[in-house]
Amino acid sequence: MKKSALRGSLLLLLTSLIWGFAFTAQRAGMDAMRPVSFNGLRNVISGLCLTAFTAVTDRRGSAGRPAQSPENKRALLIGGICCGVMLAAASTLQQMGLVYTSAGKGGFITALYVVLVPVTNWLLFHKKPGKWILLSILMAVGGLFLLCLPRGEGFSLNKGDLMVIGCAVCFTGQILCVDHFAALTDPVHLSRNQFLVCGALCMIAALLTEPISTEGIRAALIPMLYAGVLSGAVGYTLQMVGQRDVNPTLASMIMCLESVFAVLGGAVLLGERMTPREGFGCIVMFAAVILAQLSS
């Protein structure tokens, strides 16, 4: 493995750790705020943090950054919009879903993007995946069935589970957008633009659909700061920097480990426990994730 690819993989591993424990922070934030409001404010915090950071680094100058040619600027603008729209949809669906499902469960369902990324890459960009991808998809669906459906119930999904499935689809789009645009421009600036777009969209939706109170903001301040500064500004920027040197299938494999950290965070910090059936479903989904990566 090239040194740059190893560095990118380690950055993505750190990203998955930060994101995994963010599920716990997001659930805690729901005790005081409505989901879209929480999501909008955390993304605004992320955008403001990166705006301040890039203002300082731009003033000092940064060696190794791409020249801001018209092509770079266009990629930065279009990329920020595309990544921001996808992130707004994904994070809003995830945040709303976590109102109705557990942190660990939400983390594992979100990890479906590890299967969706190579399949979408194949369908849209003709980058053919390995021959075992179909089997990994079937395994992931089987694991999702065990994880989401309690024994004895009919074939129905919790509405929170369905929202998080939609989140996985949108995160697939975000990962592929990052894969394309991060190679064309500076990833930190791209991350900043992504959050400015995402934060604006989410706050508009929040103002139209939910009440926002100063009491709720104060009560959710610590989870919001974790989600905004660490999970958002730090985590997503690490994703963009790491993905520059790692192919999207491998990147999705590494980042799906957030589900493992989500389960750990839910167990340690929230006292959540999975049933044996749900635990087996998680094992099957994790095996599907590994198979998808090995076959790519």
Q: Say what the pLDDT of residue 62 is.
A: 52
Q: Residue 66's pLDDT is what?
A: 47
Structure tokens given for 64: 């190794």
CB atoms within 10 A of CB 131: 8
Q: How confident is the model at residue 95 (pLDDT cuts 50, 70, 90)?
A: confident
User: Given pLDDT bands bounded at 50, 70 and 90, which one contains residue 191?
Assistant: very high
Quote the percentage of the chain above a pLDDT of 70.
86
Which of the four pLDDT bands, split at 50, 70 and 90, describes residue 238?
very high
Would you say residue 152 has pLDDT above 70?
no
Q: Are 164 and 52 in contact (CB under 8 A)?
A: no
Lowest mean pLDDT among 38-47, 70-79, 278-287: 278-287
Arithmetic mean of pLDDT, 182-186:
88
Residues 54-79 pLDDT 10s: 988 888 765 444 456 777 889 999 99
Given its phi and psi angles, is residue 64 left (phi above 0), alpha (psi -120 to 50 degrees) or beta? left
Cβ atoms within 10 Å of 205's Cβ, excluding its own: 16
The encoded tokens of residue 197 equal: 């777009």
**269 pLDDT higher than 90:** no
Cα–Cα separations (whole angstroms), residue 128 to 107, 163, 274, 295: 27, 29, 36, 11
Please name the residue that has the structure tokens 């929170």: 160
Count of CB atoms within 10 A of residue 62's CB? Answer: 12
Torsion, Cα of 278, 279, 283, 288 (10° steps): 20
Give the pLDDT score at 293.
59
**153 has a pLDDT exceeding 60:** no
- Mean of per-residue pLDDT scores for the chain: 82
Per-residue confidence (pLDDT) for residue 255, from 0 to 100:
83
CA separation for the pair 270, 273 (Å, rounded): 9
